[in-house]
Structure 1
């Protein structure tokens, strides 16, 4: 009896194992051969450190060989790339890459054809600057491999952040909540670029910027201006703005340049909601103050059909429906970033943002680190624990859809683009259904009229037949009567 039970148990386990989904094998990397020509310090292309970059002195190539086949390439550029070409010598097939200007670019070899190539050649123009190249086999890619989508065509929410890391600090909670929990199209636009800061080249922060965004769930590639990262600070708003304008004017940029950039962002992404900095610059950062001030002007200009931007890209005027500023005192709402969410793996939006700021290692020496993490004796575990420059407080700076009543949601009183599209689809479906119903009614009415006409015609024909029959009957009777009369007359004559 025991051996029967044991066999049944073993059989049950085997059947259960057969029903479990097979786990996807992880993609392998680090086992490819790379040969570079035309690069200075070519060993930096695959030394495991993207801050050690290699630059193309002229036309340059990287030949990648992997015996088991190449399923994908992940290139982390040091500077925004120009277009480059990837070719599989075995088939002659090639791909044009770099056209989107992504600093971190993943290339899927499936775009080359069905069979995985064992060798590919990457061709770059002079000036290409690359930090690292990873080669992957088939399988599930690591989470750190970023597969960016193009910037939004229509953004539900446009977050305008002065610097790389502000989106993880003063705007903590926004990105993971609205991208992962609410599944909205969120676009991030940066006021400055971090390839240079205060006159010095930076090879770290641009990577941290993308890593942080990817960590908190952003998938639409961010945009940034050409403005360098320059510093100005004052506890007085007017002084901070004046200092910021002064340092940027010395670098060749004016207030109008900032207004035009933000106007372009608004028209380009057609956001329903815009969120940006405190008018006092949080802790008084001049660029934050400049951003908030220029945004106020840009909101008006973006909606003005007579205002034309001096740019090759022409976008229609756009009226933002709601604009929130951090810490703005009027019509203030409090956001909840401390509720665990299933969409975030049981974490809170604030905890996700803490993971996002963890990517900004170059900034961990600043007071921002203590601001968002606290200390070992007094750790920050909730956004609500932060009292200075609270990431939970926002004010409704401008609205075209009425004031907030409930609070706690940037999208109160307004549906997202997806909801609008669904409502429009439902409206069109209802119109179509109503049109079909009316057509059916018209068809039924026409059929009823046809049948009524047919019945009338049949009745008239029946009436006509009846008249004919009556006439015939009368005639028969008349004939019969006449016959009787004639017979009577004839009988009388015989007598």
Structure 2
């Protein structure tokens, strides 16, 4: 009897352990620690894998700047988190001391770039932009054969047609003020894209991509390059950004990606931020400009069906970010958004408004910055009746 029990126990252990062993065997290993590096003027290669995201590795600034990688086993993929976009670059392989091109990359402008490598041990990244550029990298992961971790970001180009465009002034505004919008509508199978007017320092672009990926957004965002300034009102912000320039920028985004609905900031700037006020004013005007046949653009006119501003008092709707989501293992949209906000580590301190008041932000509903409350300020499909869905009245 005892012998039979032991045999059964061993059999059960095998049932448990064999699938895990197979899974571990299939999982790709990050082999960067086992690789050797050389470059054009670069040092401190440990910065490529130190998980210290406020620091980055960089080569010298040259037309032929390069980073060379030698591995003991075949390299099957690279995951590069650029500190700054190098422009076009070449992936090359070394064969008997000579370099041969494998493929050109960098044309899509993805700061977090995934690259498949055809099983090579000796490769290099070569600046091919035609300009003197440094190869500046926050972090890099180098994988052998196998299944990649889910944290490896394989971005897709933003679609030429989407259901909802989220327009925000800064990285992290998409969670603090828009709450669970992104995970909630992705869970519904809708196409969501995000556009930022500013990004500040390069670290914030790194944070915003990690946050969006955590939400399971695969469409690469539009990241504007307007200066991150704090002004009392939209007029002051426009003085730096340029009113026509910023409104045309968003009008072109609307034409290119053809959203059914645009969602953006409070016209009063939530806590009075001039860039938030400007974002709301830009959206109101850009929706009109995008449908104007007299506006000259490489993209065709587009009529946005609805525009919502955060908060407001008239034509308001109340979303529900606290419903469990099937796509996120039963987590609520609010929980997923709060987790995504944690990637914005550089912004977790208090922030002051122009009156000197300090705010410590978090992702929440109700309260002063209720992320479930929005107002309909433009519609081509009639007023909302149920008042709980951005896509109400849209087929």
Partner in structure 1 of residue 329 of structure 2: 345
Alignment gaps of 5+ in structure 1: 195-201, 234-239, 374-382, 416-495
Alignment gaps of 5+ in structure 2: 352-357
Taking structure 1 as reference, are residues 44 and 2 closer, same or farther at Cα in structure 2, changes over 3 Å only? closer
User: SS of 2:194's equivalent?
Assistant: strand
- Aligned residues of 1:363 and 1:369 also touching (Cα < 8 A): no
**Between structures 1 and 2, the one with greater helix share:** 1
Task: Find out whether 1:328 has 2:334 as its counterpart.
Answer: no
Q: Which TM-score applies when normalising by structure 1?
A: 0.71
Partner in structure 1 of residue 104 of structure 2: 96
Partner in structure 2 of residue 81 of structure 1: 86
- Aligned residues of 2:321 and 2:372 also touching (Cα < 8 A): yes
Which protein has the larger Cα radius of gyration, Structure 1 or Structure 2?
1
Pairs within 5 Å for 1:310-325: 314-325=298-309
> 1:246-267, CA deviations, whole angstroms, 9 ceiling, x for partnerless residues?
3x0xxxx421111101100100
Alpha-carbon separation, structure 2, partners of 1:8 and 1:165: 54
Task: Find out whether 1:123 has 2:126 as its counterpart.
Answer: yes
Alpha-carbon separation, structure 2, partners of 1:74 and 1:255: 38
Post-superposition shift, 1:297? 1.3
Superposed CA RMSD: 2.5
Partner in structure 1 of residue 386 of structure 2: 406
From 18, 38, 61, the counterpart of 1:57: 61
Pairs within 5 Å for 1:62-73: 62-73=67-78
- Aligned residues of 1:328 and 1:397 also touching (Cα < 8 A): no
Partner in structure 2 of residue 210 of structure 1: 209
Partner in structure 2 of residue 372 of structure 1: 362
| Greater displacement, 29-38 / 264-273 | 29-38
Alpha-carbon separation, structure 2, partners of 1:165 and 1:71: 34
- Aligned residues of 1:82 and 1:128 also touching (Cα < 8 A): no
- Aligned residues of 1:86 and 1:96 also touching (Cα < 8 A): yes
Partner in structure 1 of residue 257 of structure 2: 269
Post-superposition shift, 1:31? 2.8
Pairs within 5 Å for 1:403-442: 403-415=383-395
Partner in structure 2 of residue 174 of structure 1: 181
> 1:110-162, CA deviations, whole angstroms, 9 ceiling, x for partnerless residues?
xx3xxx11121211252134123321122333343211111112111110011
From 254, 257, 263, the counterpart of 2:245: 257
- Aligned residues of 1:282 and 1:288 also touching (Cα < 8 A): yes
Alpha-carbon separation, structure 1, partners of 2:338 and 2:381: 33
User: SS of 1:66's equivalent?
Assistant: strand
Taking structure 1 as reference, are residues 5 and 207 closer, same or farther at Cα in structure 2, changes over 3 Å only? closer
User: SS of 2:80's equivalent?
Assistant: strand
Alpha-carbon separation, structure 1, partners of 2:14 and 2:45: 50
Taking structure 1 as reference, are residues 9 and 190 closer, same or farther at Cα in structure 2, changes over 3 Å only? closer
User: SS of 1:208's equivalent?
Assistant: helix
**Between structures 1 and 2, the one with greater strand share:** 2
Alpha-carbon separation, structure 1, partners of 2:18 and 2:343: 40
Alpha-carbon separation, structure 1, partners of 2:340 and 2:369: 18
